[in-house]
Structures are given as C-alpha cells and as structure tokens.
Amino acid sequence: MSTDGIFRDTGLLDPTTSEAAQHAVQDLLFYTLFYLLGSRYCDTDLLSEEAWRRFEKTPPGWTRVQAICDFVHSAVSFDYMQASATRTAYETLAGRQGVCRDFAHLAIALCRCMNIPARYCTGYLSEFGQSEPHPPDDFAAWMEVFLGGRWWVFDPRNNRPRIGRILIARGRDAADVPLTQTFGLITLTQFDVWTDELTWPWFLFRLGIVNPVASPHIHNTNGKGPGPTWTRSCRRSIKGSMTCLSRT
C-alpha cells in the first residue's frame, strides 16, 4: 500500500502573529464549537482543573496558546519506543512521555479546556531549513487553533515554525483521522516516509506540462541563462510518499 504525490508549498515558515485574539465562547462561529468538546483522546473532563490552574492568568489569545505549547513541549519527553494506540491526553500528562500525536492531543485538550477551539492535524513534516543530520522522515501530528477569526498552526512537539508541512487530514483527534484505518487484525512490518524538494523543470515534467526531450532548454532554476525563470525562494514543490507493508 503506497501513495505518491507532489505538493506545492510557499517555502515560508508557518505564519505567526502575537495579535491573534481569543474569542468569547458566545462570539465563536458555530462550526468551531465542535472543537471545544472532549473527544476520544482529548479527555477535557479530566484536564479542565489542571488547565485553569496553569493557564488562567496567562493573557488570552496567542500568548495563552503558546504558553500551553511551551508547557507540553517541556513537560513531555519524546520517545518513539513509547508509542501507544490508546494513550489519552490525560495519560500523556501523567506519564510525561509519548510521540507527536500525544503532544498534539495534550495541547488540544488544554486549549479546549480554556475555551479555545483546537483540532488535530496529521500529515508529513519536511526537514527543509533544519540543521543536519536530519532524522528519518516520519508521519507527523500537530494542531490548529481558532484565534482572530481563522485557524493557526501550532506544533507542540517541535514548538517552532517549520517549512514544508504537508497536511493530510484534520479531525477532533487521531480517532477521526488515523494513519491507517483497518478492518480486522494486521501487523505493520515496515513503513517508509520521505519528503524531497523538487526543482521546477522536474515538477513541470511530472505534471506533463514540459517534455524535457522536446524542450531541452528547460533547465534553468536560478533565473539566469536561456529559458524561463524559476524562483525557488517563493515556492517549493514537495514529494511526500508512504509505503506500508502489512501481513495478516
């Protein structure tokens, strides 16, 4: 089972603004109210008291969400070997360890406790702009919160803006958008994920727009010499793929 695709990205870091305000509950758009409720992995009923104890005095809005991300990032230890399909946000806080989806679930639950709509995101995260050596590519999870009339990306696992975030799906939590939905018992034996930056001529060739044989002059990627000018600084093309080999 595999997928392969080309994604166009701005090449810019995740947008940020400290001016994004928190809405009063009565002023929220009706469809965002869904993301204030507890869910399978975001057990707000167990975390509400802790959330208000820690964050009641933080300024509402962007600053409060960032404070939640700072707390989750520092309180939870990332460990691939501690991945669990059943761990909830409350259990993540109690155990202080987990993987990226656990970081996201905990931050989402804490935001919801503070009346900030938050939703779960799953996808790929490139290593563009990161110092080497890069770790092996993997699936990723982060969250989006509703502030100032729009959704904003926050990543409590990495806790800083990143380039090349490839969104696959959104939901209340991982129960809505699992990496793999199976019907019956299976065993995952291997998976591979990769994200690669593509040059523009190769990108156009993959889309069938340019034939490199019929158009041999299409080779320029730096704005110099013959042929079109391609500006890599304003756009990036990303190839994201996943291969899963399973046995029943």
pTM: 0.80
Q: What is the pLDDT of residues 115-172, one digit of tens each?
A: 999 999 999 888 777 778 877 777 899 999 999 999 999 999 999 999 888 899 999 9
* 170-223 residue pLDDT tens: 999 999 998 877 788 877 777 777 777 766 555 555 555 555 444 443 333 333
Beta strands in the chain (DSSP E): 2-9, 77-78, 97-98, 118-125, 139-147, 150-154, 165-171, 187-198, 236-247
Q: Which residues pair with 8 in a beta bridge?
A: 237
H and E: helices and strands count for the chain: 5, 9
Task: Please state the rounded mean pLDDT for residues 3-27.
Answer: 88
- Rounded distance, CA 122 to CA 138, Å? 11
b/e burial code for range 223-248 (CB count within 10 A of at least 16 → b): eeeeeeebeeeeebbbbbebebeeee
Domains delineated in the chain: 12-171 (3.10.620.30), 187-247 (no CATH)
Residues 42-53 as b/e (b if ≥16 CB within 10 A, e otherwise) read: bbbebbbeebee
